[in-house]
Chain A
């Protein structure tokens, strides 16, 4: 993760500010920075989304391809995550530096989505044991401005909401060979239900309190963080502790409660904006990357 170097006095200023619930940019401990969400930015994907959370910029593209189901789950499709940390995100990610961070993020995403009912995988099945839809989720980290996990999870949820998978029919021949027929209408597609898709909330411990949506400077002051994935109903699907410091079990409980509370408001805000975007339909002015 990108790290800024701060002087001891600056760190002290930040820590004392957090104690008094006034961060450097005027936010409280549980406030997010203003986020911009846009879906359908990449035309040759099944679904895409771009999220800008302060300085952090994430692009997610989802491609639906046909594959064979996994042996242990023959009547379900599955998701594959791949994270690419662009070298322009921060100087440390130049060359091969981004690979470690990328695999770390991808593993976290697998863990978050390992819960059975996050995505309705049975709807991705075409032919049990033979054909299913595989959703390749590609995450591109364009700029790192702190709190990348949250932004990535928001972008993945928005992209899944935007994903359109074409409807297929399975036709059986006289000889028993199955043929897959794609419908002619390009708008005839299935959409995914994203109500149970979790979002990650990162809580960073700074001093005696914890903050949500830490900037790079605040991340430099925090020794330990807790990554919690929360669904829209407030259910916790996974939890991960990062950082070299230690966390008291008491503070872990407090952070979990805060995470659930903040996670629910995050989901409501995101769903509202996605519905708003959907309702604008084709009349929505597309900003994309040239805005």
Chain B
């Protein structure tokens, strides 16, 4: 009953014929000359050498009037106020937690920025400080919103709404932050039977849709009941679809994930990760997205 598949490696070329959407993007690699015109101001990802503007990262050139910058393809997460992030607690310190969010510095979650269980609104006391580990421990996953950014670039988070808080059973997928599309909402209840949180920092959390909304919990009680097999299949399939989308560098948003899921239904869950099946699914999903656009 064991299945072992081996294959010879194949050079990965561009998938199908990707029609140029809109203007041609100016892609550069580190060391490429962007322009020799000295009238431009240099932005992030560029430097000047011998009167030439050279790119220091691999990415897309963006020009706003006189400012030229290069937006990197794969970079650490840069926090912006109002972003939804999914993070993992790395340290428990005095009156704060350090959260790993795939950024240059660990993000900070202050004790005053969380909802106490029971929805109490009061000043945090010394007992609360000692009981911090009862709320969030090292290794726990949370969903939070960016409240502010410190001067050194570290992000300060808060979970002051009932929809944020500690995450229960589910699957985490880590992708590059540049692949998560900015949308109005990042919490999606997909019609296929699972829910997904698309963190702006590239952490995608897939979990079974909760039966009823828990009002009082404030997000700290974890449901430890076993997840039924049907939900597990949906979650595993979604996880493989997201991995497939990321391998082909497609933007992640609820519609693309859903189209990819529907395209993958004829195949077995574990086959989605095979290169040829992945290509087929992605082509179909891409076609549907193009049809949707225009």
Binding site for B on A (CB under 8 A): 5-10, 12-13, 16-17, 20, 22-28, 30-38, 52, 212, 261-262, 265-266, 268-270, 272-273, 276-277, 284-285, 287, 290-291
Contact = CB atoms under 8 A, between A and B. Distances in A.
A269 B222 contact: no
B141 A10 contact: yes
B60 to A, nearest CB: 23
B5 A35 contact: yes
A261 B270 CA distance: 20
A-B pairs, top 8 by smallest CB distance, nearest first, are: A26-B269, A30-B2, A26-B270, A13-B169, A291-B11, A26-B236, A269-B4, A262-B2
B209 to A, nearest CB: 15
Interface residues of B, number: 43
A175 to B, nearest CB: 52
Interface in B166-189: 167-172
B239 interface: yes
A25 B240 contact: yes
A16 B227 contact: yes
Given A37-B8, A291-B10, A291-B11, A10 B2 contact: no
Interface in B238-284: 239-240, 243, 268-270, 272-275
A33 B6 CA distance: 9
B126 interface: no
A177 B168 CA distance: 77
B14 interface: no
A32 B9 contact: no
17 contacts: A5-B139, A9-B167, A10-B170, A13-B227, A16-B227, A23-B236, A24-B171, A25-B243, A26-B268, A36-B6, A36-B8, A36-B9, A269-B5, A277-B8, A284-B8, A285-B10, A287-B10
Contacts of A268: 4
A30 B7 contact: no
